[in-house]
Each structure stands twice: as structure tokens, then as C-alpha cells.
Amino acid sequence: MLEVIFLGTGGIMPTRERNVPAIALRYKGELILFDVGEGTMRQMNTAKLSPMRVEKIFITHFHGDHYLGLAALIQTMNLWDREKPLHIHGPKYTFEFVQNLLQSGFFRPGFDIHVHELGETRLRFGDYEIWSFKVEHGIPALGYVFKEKDRRGRFLPEKLAEYGLSEGPILGRLEREGQIEWNGRIIHLEDVTGPRRKGVKVAYTGDTEPTERVKLFAERADLLIHEATYLSPEHRGESYHSTVGEACEIAKKARVKLLALFHRAFRYTYEEYLSEASRLCREFGVRYIVPRDFDILEFKSGEFSVRNLLEERG
């Protein structure tokens, strides 16, 4: 099971209603962070997410609202006697900026921190991959894709019976080796399983103006988290950001299943932003969500469903 936990959904500066960008992705007990805006440690405490579970952090770019929570997070890990290494990934200059943070104040971490500067890179981690891709924000900036590996189809009881196979070690061997000899016949794994099941795909743009590279990397994603800072081009001005309409257009072209409109500017209330997003996304025929802090998107049976952590606790 995969969960996407929105720890901060706004952009530029925090407000009483929402924090700046931080997204936690929980997968098979692992916790991965994408961006660490100021106050992320507090948001994690509220969400009851332990920083000790985090082994990988992916920073989209080095504007303050996307990384200034990193020092507090590392210092908390150190305070709790962390021993496991931490891996921090980001665009060009990540090594320099992380070193500056670690040399700030009377503080040195007591655990290893490995910094990885990425271009357009494909990283493999067990059952999933993370791809980085370049976006357009006026400075070195990346988007990311989490892609679970495709899984084999389920064993089909009628096919097992046809080949005289039953549950037990023999099926484990067939799964490991891909084929076996049984009762004088060569049986391939695909002979007794259904169609392969596609792994879940989540794309996150970070900050960017509209670009075809997002469409390319988000193609057929189950979830696209696209920055949509402004409601109109007039409000955006010359900044390297996207509007709600532009995010909807990219989502439609990329044929994504669900669009999350992210990085809302502080000039809008949630209600007025949601109203305009509803109108625009309906025009494009896009399924969408405007996430709030502590919304959790849970992926089950091929679909994402949403719940809010704070509302569950009353």
C-alpha cells in the first residue's frame, strides 16, 4: 500500500491555515520526503511521522519555502541519536547548500549524510524507482516520479489445476525462476498467472512554469501533484510558476488519473481557490483534488482515495 501525506500544501510563506511544501510518501514501512519547507518537523509531529523512518529526501530546488526545514529535521534526528545514514537528493548545487546548512551554528550531525546531485536520473530502490527530470523555474530545479515496479499477475486456480500444480514451495520456485519442469512439462510463470499489474506512479513537479517535460514524465500517472500557484496569468506576472488552468491542461494531455493542485499562493483563501479550480478542472474534464495540510491520499485497488488526518482524530 502507498500513502501520500501532504504536510504542507501552500507556497511562498506559511499561513495559519497551511504550511509551505512538504510531502511524505509512505510505502511498505518506508518514509520518503519530497521537499522540506520550514516547519516540516512540526507538521511531522502533528501527523505522528517519525523522522527516524526517513532515509531519503528529495529537494526540488533551493528556494527557502522548499528546503529551510531541512536543518531542523537533521538536528532532531541527531538529538534522537540517529545512526542510520541519510540520503539527500537534489539539483545542481545541492552539495554546496547542504554543507552550508550543516556548518551553521554550533552543530554537527553524528550520523552520515550522503548528498546526491541529480540531472535527469533513474534511481532504482528495490520494488520502486525514482526518476528526476528538469523543470522550468529560472534556477536549477527538478521534478520527481515515484514508480512502483510492475507486479506479476495473480496465480489462476484453473490454470494451476490444469497443470497439476498446488500451493506450496513449487509455486515459490516457479515465481523465482520463471519456469519449472513439472510432470514432464516445462511450465512458464505466465502460463498460470493473469495479466501483469502495473505499479503505482506518482509525479511531483515542484515549482515550474508549464513545460512539456512534465507531460512526458507524468504520462498516465495515477497521481500528478502539479504546482498551481495562481488562478490567472495576470496574478502570476513574470514569475516561473503555473496557473490552475495550465496544470489542468497538462494533466489532461498526460492522461493522468488524478491531479492534485499544489503550492497555492497565500493571496487566496481555500474556498475561492477551490471554487475556481472546480470550474477549470470541469472544463478540462480532469479529476482533481485541492489538498489541505494533513490530507492523505491512499492508493488501493488501482485508485486514490482521500482522508484528512486531523478530521479523523476529531
Spatial distance between the Cα atoms of 139 and 177, rounded to a whole number of angstroms? 47
Q: What is the DSSP string of 30-88?
A: EEEEEEE-TTHHHHHHHHT--GGGEEEEE----SHHHHTTHHHHHHHHHHTT--S-EEE
Helix 70-79 and helix 94-102, axial crossing angle in degrees, nearest 10: 50
Residue 137 among known ligand-binding residues: yes
Residues tagged active-site: 65
Residue 87 among known ligand-binding residues: no
Sign of the Cα pseudo-torsion (280, 284, 285, 286, in order): negative
Residue 207 among known ligand-binding residues: yes
Spatial distance between the Cα atoms of 181 and 196, rounded to a whole number of angstroms? 22
Sheet hosting strand 122-125, strand order edge to edge:
122-125, 128-134, 142-148, 201-204, 223-227, 259-262, 288-289
Please name which of 44, 132, 150, 35 lies closest in space to residue 92, comparing C-alpha atoms.
Answer: 132
Spatial distance between the Cα atoms of 198 and 122, rounded to a whole number of angstroms? 18
Residue 61 among known ligand-binding residues: yes
Residue 89 among known ligand-binding residues: no
Spatial distance between the Cα atoms of 44 and 23, rounded to a whole number of angstroms? 10
Spatial distance between the Cα atoms of 75 and 297, rounded to a whole number of angstroms? 29
Residue list, annotated binding site for Zn(2+):
61, 63, 65-66, 137, 207, 263
Residue list, annotated binding site:
61, 63, 65-66, 137, 207, 263
